[in-house]
Structure 1
Amino acid sequence: MLGPLAFVAASCHTTTTGQDVTTPNILIIYADDLGYGDVSAYGQGQIQTPNIDKLAASGVRFTNGYATSATCTPSRLALLTGTYPWRNENAKILPGDAPLLIDTASVTLPDLLKKEGYATGVVGKWHLGLGSGNVDWNRAIAKTPNDLGFDYSYIMAATNDRVPTVFVENRNVVGLTAGDPLLVSYEKNFPGEPTAVTNPELMTRMKWHHGHNQSVHNGIPRIGYMKGGKSALWKDELMAETFLAKATAFIDSHLAKKNGQPFFLYYALNQPHVPRVPGARFVGKSGLGPRGDAVLEADWCVGEIMKKLKEAGLTNNTLVIFSSDNGPVLNDGYYDDAVEKNGTHTPWGQFRGGKYSLLEAGTRVPFSVSWPGRIKAAVSDALICQLDLFSSIASLVGSTASTTDSQNLLGTLLGTSETGRANLVLEASGRLAFRSGNWLLIPPYPGKPVNEQVQLETGLSPSPQLYNLRSDPGQQKNLAQSLPDKLTEMQKQMKQVVGDGYQANTGELQLH
C-alpha cells in the first residue's frame, strides 16, 4: 500500500487548466446543525440527500467523524485553526457584534494555503466575530476573514437568527446606504424600535418559542436589536441562492485568471439552522416541515457546487470535504413545525443527544472526503476530527505548519490508511468528554439531564458515564460502576490530554 505522500506523488501530472494535481483545489462544504441521520448515505433517517450521498460514495465516508464541539462557533474555530476550542475561554456561541475571535497573528488554514500559492475564499456563515469590538457597520470593518488568510469573503455577520441580518463582503456591509445607517446592539433596544414582544403582529412568517424575541426582520424575530440599514437587509428565502452564486462566482473568477493556481473555498451553508426559511422550490417538498425542506435545500446546494466543478473541468482535481459543525436540533427557538412534522425521521441517527449535548449526536456528524481519480470509494471507521484537517491539508500541500492538537491524518483522509486518532476531547457548552479508542468518558457535571427548551438530552449527570461505543453506539449501558479500573484509566488519560486544569474525580475544568 502506498503511503499518503507517495500516493499523491504517484499521481503527478497537470490538468487541462495547467494546474499540478499534487496541489488540488480544496473545497470544504460545511453544513449548519446537520445531523448524522439527516444524510441518507448513513441509512438512519427518512430524508433523501442524493447529492451529498453521491459525494460520499465517490470517496471516503467516515462513520467516526467528529466536530470538536456540539455548538457552532467552537467547531468553526477548530476547523480553521487546528486547535481545541476549549483552550480559548471566548470560544462559545458569539453574539452578532462580537469581536474577531481568532488572533490575526495566528496561522490559520487559509493562511497556510495562501502561503503555498492558493487563492482563498470563504462564502456563507462565519460566526467567528468581526472587528475589535463596537463595530461601526457603516464603515470598512478593520478585522474580517480577510485578515485571517482569505483573499475574498462574502459572509453573514453571525447567524440567521442574530442581528445584523446583513451580508458582509470583504470589509463592508453589502448594499448599505449613507442616508440610512445600520445600528446594532445586544445590550438594549433603540428608542421607539419595535420588537417581537411589543409588536407581535410583525411576526408574519414565524413566531418565537424561546430566546428570539427582539428585533423583527422579514417577518421573523431575532436575537439582538437592530435599527436602520433597510437597503442592506437580506431576504432569508434567497440566502441559499445568494451564497451559492457567490461561491460559484469565486470559482469563475479564479478560472478567469488562467494561471494554473489552485484555490481553497470554505463554503459554509446556512442550512438547516434556524430560522428555517428555504427557497420557494423546496417549500413543502420534504413533508417534514421547514427543517426537512432546509435539508433538501442544503443537498441541492451541494449538487449545484459539484455541478460547477464538473462544468469547469475541475472535478478530478478538487479535494472536497463535507461535514457539519455540530449535531441536530428540532425546536431551536421558533415555532416552525420541526417537532410536529418530524414523523419517524431521526436526525440524530442511532445516537443519543444532539446539538448542545455531550452525548454522541452532539459531535458525531456526517463526514466525507472526495477526490475522484485519487481516492477510492470506501467506508472508514477510523476516528477522525475536523480539527485534523489543518495538519493533514498542510502535509498534502507541503506546508510545515502544524499545531499541538491537530494530527496529520492525510493517509486516512485519502483512504490509504485505516489508522485514526487514538483519542479525542469533545466539548459542549464548556464541558468536556473524552474518547479513547472505542471508549467514551463523560465526567460528572451538575445540570439537568434534558435541555427542556430544545428537548434533547444534555449528557449531564452527577455520576461519571463510561460507554463502549463499538458494542453500544446508542449509549444505553453506563459501564462506569461495573468497570472501575477502566473508568480510572480513562480519567487518567483525559487528565493527561487536557492538562492540570482538569480534575479527574469531579470532572471540573479550570483552565483559566
Structure 2
Amino acid sequence: MNLLTRSIFGAFSLLPTLLIAAPNEQPNVVIIYGDDVGYGDVGAYGSKMIPTPNIDRLAKEGLLFTDGHCAAATCTPSRYSLLTGVHGFRDGISILPPNAPLSISTEKLTLPKLFKQAGYTTAVIGKWHLGIGERGKPVDWNGDVKPGPLEIGFDYSFLLPSTNDRVPCVYLDGHRVVNLDPNDPLFVGTSPNKVNRPGSTRYPDGRKDPKAMTYYRSTHGHNHSVINGIGRIGYMAGGKSALWDDETMADVFVEKAVDYISSQKEQPFFLYFASQDIHVPRAPNPRFKGKTELGFRGDAMVQFDWTTGEIMKALEENGLSENTIVIFSSDNGPVYDDGYADGSKVKKSFGESDRGHDGSGIYRGGKYQIYEGGTRVPFIVRWPAKIKPGTSDALVNQIDLLASFAELFGLEIPADEAGDSRNSLDALLGKDTKGLPFMIEEAAHTGRALRVGAWKYIMPEKKSWAGAAQPARLYNLAEDPSEQTNIAEKHPEKTELMAKQLKDLMGANGVRAHVGGESPAQQ
C-alpha cells in the first residue's frame, strides 16, 4: 500500500521509493549544528590537538564531505538560510542584537514546515538567534514570548533565545521563560535605564564595574550586564531564579534532546539540535576543562563531541540508529578571541591560532570572512540504511537541505519559496560526486563570492571585516586551496565572467531559477 503525503499545495502525491510504506519507517532526521566549529576542529578533518572520537565515528560510519559549506560566514544568516532556503542578504538578515524580533516570516516556507507536510513531528533544541517577537512591539518576557520557533513550524522548542553571549540569560521552553519568578519580572533592553525597574534584580554593568567580570574579562564588546561573572551584550534586569548556568548548558540541552528522541521513537521526527558550543563565552563543564592544550575553546570542542556522542547513543538505545539521517555541521568557520580573554589568542594574521592548531585547517580565514575558512565547515551525513560510508568531494551547501528533503519526500516547492535551495539529494546520498555547479558564499558586511568548480571569485569590498577596502579577487582552489595568490589580473575574462554571473545571481529572486545547465563560468 502506497503512503500518501500532503503536498505544500494541499494535494496528494506518492512518496518516492526511498521511503517505506509504514510512517514509522520513514527516516528520522537529526541535524547536529555546531557554533563556530571550523573545518580543522574535528579529528576526521585533520585536527591533531582536539580529541573528537564521537564525531570521528560519525564520519567513519557516514559520508564525509570535503567541500561542504554553510551559507554564510556568520551565525544568523547561516541559520536563516538553513531553515528557509533563502540567502540572508536577500532579506537583509545580519547578526541579530538582543531582543530582535523574529527574522523569519510566519508565512514563509521553512524546513520544519516541510517536515510537517511529510508527516513528521518537529523540534528545535539549543541556540536560536533568529529573533523572537513581533517587529515594532516589545517582547513581554513575563508572559507568552512569541512569535518564535513554534510559529514557523516547530512542534517543540527549548532554547536559549538569542545566543550565549547576549541577554536574556534564561531558557525558553515553548512560549515561557523557565523558572521565572513573577515577583522578579524580567526586562531586556539596550541600556540600564530601559531595564532597571523597582523590584527586579539588578546586575552589574561591566562598563562601570569591570571587576564584576570574574569568570574572565571582556576584550571587546561584551561588557554590559554581567551574568554569572561573565559580561554580555545587552542589558537585562530581573529573572534571577531563571538564570542559566553556563557550565551546565550542554548537559541541559542533551537531556532535552535525549528525552525528545525517546518520546518520539514510534513516529518519524525531525530534530534541529543547535549547540551553543563552541561559541563564546566558552564555559565548558568542569569535567571537560583541561582535556586539551587549547584552553576553553579546545575543551568546549571536547564537550561538543561528548554532546554528539550522547545524541548518537540515544538513537542507538531507542533502536533508531539504522534509519535515522544524522547531519553534522556548523554555522560558520572558527574564531578565537571573539570578545573574551579566555586564552584563545590569535597571531597578527587574523584567524590563525598561536598554539599549533588552526580551526580552518589549510583554508584561509574564518568566521566573518569571505575566504574558504569562513564557510567551508565540517559536513557529515550518516544514514546506515541508505548511505555507504566514505568521503565525497562534491560541492554541497546547507541552504540546499530544504529542496533536497522536498525531493526525498516527493513534495513540490512553490516557485516563490526557498528560491536559493536546490535539490542536492544525490550528492548527499553519495550518488553524485560533483554536487553544485556553482554556489554563492556570503560573509560579514558586503562580502560575497562565487564558487564555480575550483574557481572562486570574490567581489570588491568597500569595507571588509578587516576594515580596509579589498579589490576583486580570483583564486583557483585546485592549485591554491589556501587562497594566497590573487590571479584576477592574470585571468581578466574569467574574472569578468564570474563577476557578471555573481551580480546576476544576487539580483535575482533566487538561485534555483538559474540552474538550467552549466554555469557560464564553467564553459
Amino acid at match of 2:395: L
Aligned counterpart, 1:416 = 431
Measure how far apart 1:500 and its partner are: 7.1
Residue 464 (structure 1) aligned with residue 472 (structure 2): yes
Residue 477 (structure 1) aligned with residue 479 (structure 2): no
Measure how far apart 1:100 and its partner are: 0.4
Aligned counterpart, 1:510 = none
Deviation string 1:112-141 (CA, Å, 9 cap, x unpaired) is: 111211010000000000011410100012
Aligned counterpart, 1:332 = 338
Aligned counterpart, 1:113 = 115
Aligned counterpart, 2:357 = 345
Aligned counterpart, 1:254 = 264
Deviation string 1:199-247 (CA, Å, 9 cap, x unpaired) is: 2222111100000010000010100011110010000000000000011
Deviation string 1:263-290 (CA, Å, 9 cap, x unpaired) is: 0000001111000000111011112100
Aligned counterpart, 1:203 = 213
Note the 1:71-470 alignment, pairs <5 A: 71-89=74-92, 91-132=93-134, 133-189=137-193, 190=195, 194-255=204-265, 258=266, 261-339=267-345, 343-401=355-413, 403-431=418-446, 432-447=448-463, 450=466, 461-470=469-478
> Distance between the aligned counterparts of 1:47 and 1:134, measured in 2?
43
Change (3 A) 1:193 1:269: closer
Change (3 A) 1:113 1:38: same
Say if 1:77 and 1:83, in contact at 8 Å, map to a contact too. yes
Say if 1:214 and 1:221, in contact at 8 Å, map to a contact too. yes
Deviation string 1:454-507 (CA, Å, 9 cap, x unpaired) is: xxxxxx643210001111110011110111111111112112211279xxxxxx
List gaps (5 residues or longer) in structure 1. 1-5, 452-459, 502-512
Say if 2:445 and 2:465, in contact at 8 Å, map to a contact too. no
> Is the partner of 2:79 in helix, strand or coil?
helix
> Distance between the aligned counterparts of 2:32 and 2:16, measured in 1?
22
Measure how far apart 1:187 and its partner are: 4.3
Amino acid at match of 1:71: T
> Distance between the aligned counterparts of 2:252 and 2:100, measured in 1?
24
Measure how far apart 1:372 and its partner are: 0.9
Aligned counterpart, 2:60 = 57
> Is the partner of 1:64 in helix, strand or coil?
strand
> Is the partner of 1:320 in helix, strand or coil?
strand
Cα RMSD for the two superposed structures: 2.0
Measure how far apart 1:10 and its partner are: 6.3
> Distance between the aligned counterparts of 1:226 and 1:450, measured in 2?
31
> Distance between the aligned counterparts of 1:70 and 1:448, measured in 2?
13
Say if 1:11 and 1:374, in contact at 8 Å, map to a contact too. no
Say if 1:45 and 1:346, in contact at 8 Å, map to a contact too. no
Amino acid at match of 1:32: D
With structure 2 as the length reference, what TM-score do the two structures score? 0.88
> Distance between the aligned counterparts of 1:228 and 1:315, measured in 2?
43
> Distance between the aligned counterparts of 1:170 and 1:449, measured in 2?
36
Change (3 A) 1:197 1:405: same
Change (3 A) 1:199 1:10: closer
Say if 2:203 and 2:226, in contact at 8 Å, map to a contact too. no
Say if 1:449 and 1:461, in contact at 8 Å, map to a contact too. no
After alignment, is 180-189 or 345-354 more displaced? 180-189
Note the 1:500-511 alignment, pairs <5 A: none
> Distance between the aligned counterparts of 1:152 and 1:478, measured in 2?
48
Change (3 A) 1:400 1:500: closer
Deviation string 1:20-73 (CA, Å, 9 cap, x unpaired) is: 2xx200000000000000011111553221111111111211111111111100
Say if 2:323 and 2:384, in contact at 8 Å, map to a contact too. yes
> Distance between the aligned counterparts of 1:71 and 1:10, measured in 2?
34
Aligned counterpart, 1:454 = none
Deviation string 1:152-185 (CA, Å, 9 cap, x unpaired) is: 0000010110000011011000110111100110
> Is the partner of 1:444 in helix, strand or coil?
coil
Change (3 A) 1:70 1:10: closer
Change (3 A) 1:8 1:322: farther
Deviation string 1:402-449 (CA, Å, 9 cap, x unpaired) is: 632101111111112223111111111242111112111111112367
Change (3 A) 1:289 1:342: farther
Amino acid at match of 1:227: A
Say if 2:444 and 2:464, in contact at 8 Å, map to a contact too. no
> Distance between the aligned counterparts of 1:19 and 1:449, measured in 2?
47
Change (3 A) 1:488 1:195: same
> Distance between the aligned counterparts of 2:165 and 2:264, measured in 1?
32
> Is the partner of 1:291 in helix, strand or coil?
helix
Change (3 A) 1:234 1:227: same
Amino acid at match of 2:429: L
> Distance between the aligned counterparts of 2:465 and 2:69, measured in 1?
22
Q: Percent identity?
A: 49
> Distance between the aligned counterparts of 1:277 and 1:248, measured in 2?
22
Say if 1:36 and 1:327, in contact at 8 Å, map to a contact too. yes
> Distance between the aligned counterparts of 1:399 and 1:155, measured in 2?
29
With structure 1 as the length reference, what TM-score do the two structures score? 0.90
Change (3 A) 1:492 1:45: farther
Aligned counterpart, 2:8 = none
Measure how far apart 1:8 and its partner are: 7.1
Aligned counterpart, 2:27 = 24
> Distance between the aligned counterparts of 1:103 and 1:87, measured in 2?
14
In the alignment of these two chains, the number of paired residues is: 478
Say if 1:62 and 1:368, in contact at 8 Å, map to a contact too. yes
Say if 1:278 and 1:294, in contact at 8 Å, map to a contact too. yes
Amino acid at match of 2:457: L
Measure how far apart 1:389 and its partner are: 0.3
> Distance between the aligned counterparts of 2:238 and 2:24, measured in 1?
46
> Distance between the aligned counterparts of 2:220 and 2:377, measured in 1?
26
Amino acid at match of 2:498: M
After alignment, is 271-280 or 410-419 more displaced? 410-419
